[in-house]
């Protein structure tokens, strides 16, 4: 049986598919990373991919005047969303999906960096996100977005109301990071060292939290992704 193809747009090397990768492989997907900014993004390849995942990164979804490759990502997302093709966005990816659907993405006024739970909506508790109920999750963003009118809110925090949304069975947007693993966390602290220093956040605190909280989160995050894949149209 031919493999399905999952294309992932990656903005920084350490923000990858994490614990979602083995779930996708077990579900029969071949994983192909495309590193934004390294080469033109192949629009046809993304149109034909069985699944598109747009990953996180330390830039704004509205900064296409600074990072022109974002225009290509937005065009890719607009085409996939218009076609109803299976698409996942994580952090920056979720914000780009919101923008591709015609909504505003903007600075939240405060950074949300660290581990904490989300409050699930009724729809969130009824779907794949139920696996995250009561779990400590990694948050790492300074922007937020307006919820697209055609989408369903799935999760919120006290700092940021719009944390996750869906549209039907084929679109999932998560502003937090359930995919992160303890083994892959140290590069986050290195890659975001300037942001952490500017925010006055001690990397040792985040390191300790990741060592304690990421391992028990991993199976729940994997159940989330498995359930979502099973429900695709």
**Confidence (pTM):** 0.97
> What is the per-residue pLDDT for 44?
86
Say if residues 91 and 137 touch (Cβ distance below 8 Å).
Answer: no
Q: CA 98: distance to chain centroid?
A: 12
> What is the per-residue pLDDT for 1?
58
The two tokens of residue 50 are: 């069985």
Least confident of 41-50, 92-101, 193-202, 209-218: 41-50
Q: Which CATH number fits the domain that encloses residue 148?
A: 3.40.50.880
Average pLDDT over residues 184-188: 98
Per residue, the 3-state secondary structure of the chain, as one string, reads CCCEEEEEEECCCCCCCCCHHHHHHHCCEEEEEEECCCCCCCHHHHHHCCEEEECCCCCCCCCCCCCCHHHHHHHHHHHHHHHCCCEEEECHHHHHHHHHCCCCEEEEEEEEEEEECCEECHHHHHCHHHHHCCCCEEEEEEEEECCCCCCEEEEECCCCCCCEEEECCCEEEECCECCCCCCCCHHHHHHCHHHHHHHCCCHHHHHHHHHHHHHHHHHHHHHHHHHHHHCCC
**Average pLDDT over the chain, rounded to whole?**
96
> What is the per-residue pLDDT for 45?
85
The total number of structural domains in the chain stands at 1
Note down the domain range covering 218. Answer: 4-230
Label residue 81 by pLDDT band (50, 70, 90). Answer: very high
> What is the per-residue pLDDT for 2?
65
> Tens of pLDDT along 135-167?
999 999 999 999 999 999 999 999 999 999 999
Say if residues 52 and 59 touch (Cβ distance below 8 Å).
Answer: no
Residue 170 pLDDT exceeds 80: yes
> What is the per-residue pLDDT for 43?
84
CA distance 156 to 116: 11
């Amino acid at each position: 049986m031919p493999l399905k193809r999952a294309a992932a747009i990656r903005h920084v090397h350490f923000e990858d598919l994490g614990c979602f990768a083995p779930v996708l492989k077990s579900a029969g997907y071949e994983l192909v990373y495309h590193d934004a900014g390294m080469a033109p993004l192949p629009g046809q390849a993304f149109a034909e991919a069985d699944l598109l995942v747009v990953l996180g990164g330390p830039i704004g979804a509205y900064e296409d005047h600074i990072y022109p490759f974002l225009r290509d990502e937005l065009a890719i997302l607009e085409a996939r969303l218009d076609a109803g093709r299976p698409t996942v966005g994580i952090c920056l990816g979720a914000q780009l999906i919101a923008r591709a659907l015609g909504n505003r993405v903007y600075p939240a006024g405060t950074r949300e960096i660290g581990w904490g739970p989300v409050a699930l909506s009724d729809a969130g508790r009824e779907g794949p996100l139920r696996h995250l109920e009561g779990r400590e999750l990694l948050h790492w963003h300074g922007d937020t977005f307006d919820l697209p009118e055609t989408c369903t809110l799935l999760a919120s925090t006290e700092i940021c109301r719009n944390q996750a949304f869906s549209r039907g069975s084929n679109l999932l947007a998560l502003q937090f990071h359930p995919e992160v693993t303890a083994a892959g966390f140290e590069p986050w602290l290195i890659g975001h060292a300037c942001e952490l220093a500017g925010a006055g956040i001690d990397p040792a605190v985040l390191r300790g939290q990741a060592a304690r909280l990421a391992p028990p989160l991993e199976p729940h995050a994997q159940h989330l992704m498995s359930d979502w894949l099973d429900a695709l149209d």
